[in-house]
A and B are shown apart, each in its own frame.
Chain A
Amino acid sequence: MSATALIRAGAPQGARPFERFLLSPDAWARLPAALRAEPSLALLALWAEPGLVHAAFLDEAAGGVLLASAPAEGGRYAALSPARPGAIRFERMIRDLWGLTAEGAVDLRPWLDHGRWPVAGPLSGQPAQLTGAEPPQPEFLPVEGEGVHQIPVGPIHAGVIEPGHFRFHIQGEIVVRLEERLGYKHKGTLSLMLGKSPRAAAVFPARLSGDSTVAHAWAFAAAAEAALGVAVPERATALRAVMGELERIHNHLNDWGFVCNDAAFAFPHARCGFLREQVLRACAAAFGHRLMMDCVLPGGVAPDIADGGAAAILAALAAVEAEIPALVKIYESHASLQDRVVGTGFLNPDFARAYAAGGFVGRGSGRRFDARMAPGYAPYDLLAPPVVVEAGGDVDARVRVRIAELRASIAMVRRLLGALPGGETLVALPAHGGEGSALVEGFRGECLAWLRLDDGGLIRGVFLRDPSWLQWPLLEAAIEGNIVADFPLCNKSFNCSYSGVDL
């Protein structure tokens, strides 16, 4: 039986728009073998509720999302990591947060839990109180070989970036292995959302990863609206897309500049920084917040775009568009820069496929996937953005995906603002039960949100999955065989979120 058939044979649970099927523990245990035989079913996420494990899959051929669950009897469930390497960190996270153990897992070291919380299994429903024992030393994978030495980096890094630990094993100047240790920013976000209404909980997806505040807030809002069967006003849908594309534009500009800067080429960084600043100021003029935080809410958008906001946005975008050709020429015509970005940090397309990496990481390594087109959601059915794919797999390919997307996003914002529907931007939400999920394409890839509401309309179960979950492990692969000095460049070309995966 194929994995898809195995999941669809489970009991449907009434989740919208993507159905969730409840499997018996036996059926779930047959999943790893079935998944190995069906490589086109990509794992998007793995999470849990007390005593219950959930998985989200993407049917790459049909473009649909498939949800599967199974009870974890005795706190154990069959690991999917032997069939899907992307599951490894999710399984480690599930053990830390929900206290459920994946049997047959590839790796069962702690992930988010560094031994510093006052409780064990904080989301398990019955967290055990801990007395202040000495936190354990982290274990890193062993490396053997002549002249191998270690470079520990972080959690506090030298630049103005988020905290995380990188353990490099080095031979001469060459990185033999990079191992990431994250979780330093774990804030207990999911636990704070439980028992709140979707409207009250919306501040948390908006702060899952500040650079993707619009995308995560949109995914969460769409999941809540699906659960409650609420239709969003057309004007709100259009404004969400305006904000989503502006978020893509300001982040892509930022990344492009920083990649050049990490190759010690400061001019594009200065120009991109200035252009991005004009975009952020236009966002503040239009929506009252530079990053548009808390502007996308379950039920619509608030506030409505301000008078003169559209003109400010269009002026900022015109400046960006006018300068892109000159910046591209400078980027392409300086050998000192091209020498650093071309061929550096090569990500094998097979790995990108195996991990189902999205965003510029996947599309820079030939994986044609963009959640705006498949599964797709309004208003992108009308806008039909081009899916930009580069085959190179290196830092340069990931930069080029961004540059092409910049141009496409500018064109889309123009179209959206040129034909903005009238009417309301926010509708009230009813308070009743339901379950929903949504996939929204942020600047770095697809953001997944899932939630289950009780009869009073309060959140009983929730998960927010940043695309970085499937991209961080690939950075470890991409840096292998590169020199240590190229790590910042590779890291910036991936630009994974720390906060987004630390939850």
Chain B
Amino acid sequence: MSKEVYITKTNCITPLGFDVQSNFKAVLEKKTGVSSTNTYAQFPEIYLAEILDAEIDKHFSKLTSEGTYTRLEKLAILALQPVLEGKQITNKSVLILSSTKGNIKLLQENTAIAEANLGKLAQKIANFFGFSTQPIVVSNACVSGVMALSVAKRMLQFSEYEEAFVVAADEVSEFVISGFNSFQALSNQLCKPYDKDRKGINLGEAVAAAHLTLKKETALVRIAGDASVNDANHISGPSRTGEGLFRSIKAALNEAEIPSEDIDFISSHGTATLYNDEMEAIAFGRSNLLDKPLFSLKANYGHTLGASGLLETVISIEALQQNTILPSLGYKEMGVSQPVTIYTLPKEVKTTYFLKTASGFGGCNTAMVFEKLMN
């Protein structure tokens, strides 16, 4: 019998707010952090969701004035701080970082390339809080954030660790903008997940954090099942059959020992590219989940890469607590071949289980099932 793993505390920092409550309220009110900006000379009038530097520095200066930290390090530390507050870090505590590009901006500043190493970034965050154990870094494209949560859960099940702190962080950079632009994947307006006029993604930045433990007291949710199965199809193009996502959902539901019927809502990936959203719809159809309410938060936050999976899980855990189905900003008219169920306004429904999914380059997919605890 596997050990049960719980999430007790979460946090997030995005252009819409520096804590979960302000972010949840903004999503309910259909606010967006995405706007048109001309900060990047090569990409005039691009739509991005960026956190203001002044806000980051204001919050960080309250925490410490010592040491030098990159913008992303500050964000990661700020996101973790409230989650760690009042907790004693021991040799049974582990830090897990999810990031796709970490401190990649250092490459354009003529610093030694090795300074942008993801392991270094994790160690810096670990040192700030005084972790004595070696941090684990998950870098698995756009599923990283939710996969890090899955890895944390598994570690608590098989290792001697008793608690895990997961932080997922990625920021907007010319590196990722130019890359996604070369893939012709960027939308020149606010993105429209699953909509018939969707034209691609908006890039964004965020950090999210969560505390996982084996203790049920004060827990918000139990992680009921998780799986990450590859498409074995193409390194950048989504599978036409949704094979990997379909298999991931099936395996996660199996572990949770619930039928798809018991899922109350799906917090999907929904990047608003033509092929991703279609692939997801096919996988949800094959999983008998088309009648379950589904939402994408990409028009609120943009695609925040390695942070997105955890950020969206954090917001969804709050939705689960509040018995609320969230609206999908940007969506108007069905634009995928399988009729998924999407709301344009929040809706109150009694909820117990939700499914979180993500998919990314390299053919990766992750699915996780969460169960609400009645405390």
Asked if chains A and B come from one complex, the reply is: no
Residues of A within 8 A of B (CB): none
